[in-house]
Chains A and B, each alone.
Chain A
Amino acid sequence: MANSGGVGKTTLTVNLAYQLALQGKTVAMLGCDPNGSLTLFCGLDDPPPEKTLDYVLRSEFKGDYPLVPVWRNQIDGVDACLGGLPLTATTQRLVLDKRGAYLLADALEDYPLPHDVVLIDCPGTIEQLHVAALSASTSVLITLKPEDKDLDAMAKLLEWISATRSELRLKPAPRVMGVVPNGAKKRAMHRDNLGLSGIDGVIGLPEIMRQMQIQMFPTIKDGAYIANAAAAGLPLGLYRPNDPSNRVYEKIATAITQEIT
């Protein structure tokens, strides 16, 4: 999740899926974003409405997830249920449905996916699909750019998560597994926000996260290759196996593996 766009949510999703598959796990990615970026990042074509996540959240859904294999010629174990434009209508339906907040959780409970890990790629603004995603999750990963506007938006996301999981009485409540700073550049603002400038009185994100007992994963530096890999529809690990950012994704994947065992 994130409360701003373009901060690396889908990038994180596809790269974690790839790294988890490398570790022998099977992974299902659920695209919750009406922009359908997951489709693009997987190198696929936009699916028809009945082949999107929208179908999973309909009353006629009977466990036949519209899953598509991803990067199958290069690695086994990764599937995706794509999002896209049809999800704008889903959002409206969720508001009206009596169990709207729990529809995704209900689907996953009634028809469990066989995969080891399910990764949900959320939109960049808090809305109804976030509620459904939160209630279906065990853990939340948050991405952000080390900009003030993203920090402020993330603070609001954290507040929203606290309020919503209490309000929905989620048991067990999904916990914030960690924060992944993304797209860090050699700029004063980024260094300050990441607690790297060592100036007195400049409090960075790491200190606040320590206070909130939320793990901070290593920072992913800005680089053209990440965007290029996405454009090619590949995870960075396949597009540029030696890129140092792969180590960060690997580390987060390992943390997820530990969480599920």
Chain B
Amino acid sequence: MARNSKRSIDTMFGGAIAAQEGETIAQLKEEIENLKSRSGQSLLLPVSEIQPLQLPGNLKQPRLYFDPIKMERLKESIQKHGVLEPILVRPRKEGGYETISGERRWRSCCELGKETVPGIVREMSDETALEAALIAHLLNEEITAIEQTESILSLISLHLDTAIVDIKSALYKVNNSHIRGNENSRIFTEEELSAVNNILGEFGMKLSSFVSNRLPMLNLAPEILEAVRAGRISPTNAVLLNRQKPELHSELVEQAEGLTKQDVMVLVKEIAEEHAGGTAPPIVPLSDRVFARIKAIRRKKSLLSSSKAQKKLGQIDRLLEEIEQMGL
């Protein structure tokens, strides 16, 4: 951009940059999806020369949970049929390889004492490796909605080069301003917003549902989170339970297992009422409550003289008048 230019170079290239970024996601996604069918082109890599992906500290890797039961099942399958889908690795400068996709399969092979694992080798920069690892993670059918949400956030953070916390708060703000019908009030630039929508779209999601259904999953209380990871309650139900008081969590988790969303909503209401019941004051007749209120408010002269209060008093007056009429 020259010093007198009206249109900045960022504006000029915004569309091109967004298009390029959208493309890499689609390409990597397709490439990873096609790995299965490319088993013929894979090499047999020595298991001992492979290690997990190593990235500099500023790039956050997808978190992998190695569920022992699932790992056992995977090992059994590998023992029986071998590794059906090649793993994806990148070569290390120092020699050897790092896993991009297929860490579980590689670990299983290690534990089974296999010497080689079929793999496809691709040169990748740290950024591309992370992106590919995140996409591979997202394409894995076994990941939970929480892991998926974390990986999508990391992917957005990588693309917009913004910290995950800032992305989260910006997403909430954008969604709120959409709900209120405001324009995207300069929270994201137009290109950033289109990049976000692009990424979400690639994984079949919309911004509004991502914000209202997915993001709350990341703030779950430890007890609820554990239940979700163990597959005892669904992530949607977890979000419902998480809104309740912490002291009710363990009871709720126990009873919510296997229930539908509607059932959980009923359950939440019941348990909340049950607990409130013990401490609630004895029920006072409605008419007594109204008289007590009027008495209490009578002394607040300045408050009552305000125009807002006057308006409300007018409404009460009319309502009382209606009640009087009923007696006639």
Contacts and interface: CB of A to CB of B under 8 A. Distances in A.
Per DSSP, chain B at the interface is helix
Nearest to A199: B3
Nearest to A164: B19
Contact of A212 (B1, B5, B20): B20
A186 to B, nearest CB: 14
B126 interface: no
Interface in B288-310: none
Interface string B22-34: 1100110000000
User: Per DSSP, are chain A's interface residues mostly helix, strand or loop, or mixed?
Assistant: helix
B2 interface: yes
B2 A155 contact: no
A115 interface: no
A162 B16 contact: yes
Nearest to B10: A203
A162 B20 CA distance: 6
B47 to A, nearest CB: 30
Contacts of A173: 27
A152 B7 contact: yes
Interface residues of A, number: 25
Given A148-B2, A166-B23, A203 B16 contact: no
B15 interface: yes
A182 to B, nearest CB: 17
A199 B1 CA distance: 11
Given A162-B22, A163-B19, A173-B27, A193 B2 contact: yes
Contacts of A151: 1, 9, 12
A211 interface: yes
B13 A208 contact: yes
Interface string A154-165: 011011001101
Given A151-B9, A166-B26, A203-B10, A159 B15 contact: yes
A192 B1 contact: yes
Given A155-B13, A156-B15, A202 B20 contact: no
B2 A192 contact: yes
B2 A159 contact: no
A211 B12 contact: no
Contacts of A148: 1-2, 5, 7, 12
B17 interface: yes
Nearest to A189: B2
A193 B16 contact: no
B7 to A, nearest CB: 7
Interface string A176-202: 000000000000110011000101001
Interface of A: 148, 151-152, 155-156, 158-159, 162-163, 165-166, 173, 188-189, 192-193, 197, 199, 202-205, 208, 211-212
20 contacts: A148-B5, A148-B12, A151-B9, A151-B12, A152-B12, A155-B13, A158-B16, A159-B16, A159-B19, A163-B19, A166-B22, A166-B23, A188-B2, A189-B5, A193-B2, A197-B3, A202-B2, A203-B9, A204-B9, A212-B16
Given A148-B1, A204-B1, 9 more contacts: A148-B7, A148-B12, A155-B12, A155-B13, A158-B13, A192-B1, A199-B3, A205-B9, A212-B13
The 9 closest A-B pairs by CB, nearest first: A162-B19, A158-B16, A192-B2, A189-B2, A159-B16, A155-B12, A155-B13, A159-B19, A159-B15
